[in-house]
Structure 1
Amino acid sequence: MRDRWKTSLEDALYGKLTIEAIRPVFGQWIQREHGSLSFRLVQVMTGHGCFGHYLYRVARREPTPSCHECGATDDTAQHTLEECRRWDPQRRTLVAEIGGDLLLSSVAFAMGNYYRHTDFCG
């Protein structure tokens, strides 16, 4: 079943950024014993959620794709992860945990490996 699932992801029409981020660590993600995907994390991973880009272009709920927090022209999930000043404190915490590369593929890699090598519960 896992092999069929992995194969079906190769031919997906939508969600390619998320799939490409997770596919290299697919096995680690499936075997994780700890850690769940929160509502906010799913929004970042998919780009669907409270981002101006999504709300303007897909959901048609905003007049522009700009960021409400910092005024950037295109408020994407990646903008929130890497650039928006509003999220600097949270970004510093994330960078301290996984390193400075905040590409979606790097975040997915860190999530797939983090719980295997760390006693998350303290």
Structure 2
Amino acid sequence: FQSSLGHNVCWGYERDCKPQNSYSTPSCPGDHRGWVKTKQDQLRTFYTQGDFGYVRDQLQEMMVMCEPTFKEDSSLECSKHLRFCRGRNIMINFTDLNTRKEPLRYKMDVLKEGQIGGFCT
């Protein structure tokens, strides 16, 4: 990381990041057959599903859900299907999670109506 400071490098999710300037290049050793047609397709699939290409796609999908009127107000923006969200001054009420008996991993109904709020338009 330190050796990259001061050079024209990027993580890979930035809009103007060229592949040759990316901080790291994916490496997928082994056979690609059965999954994709070419080795290049294998690298591209890894990049878009498990690397900074996934982050890039989430950032490109961002939609404003809650816009602040004033600087101190709440804000919330999320990608499709709420896979990635970024917010400020948001209230989330987790108090009833202690009473749930089933595992919450992969659940789509963790928050109910009224359990998330803020002041925005």
The interval holding the TM-score normalised by the smaller chain is: under 0.3
Rg larger in 1 or in 2? Answer: 2
Higher relative contact order (CA 8 A, sep 6+): 1
TM, length-normalised to structure 1: 0.23
Whichever structure has more helix as a proportion of its residues is: 1
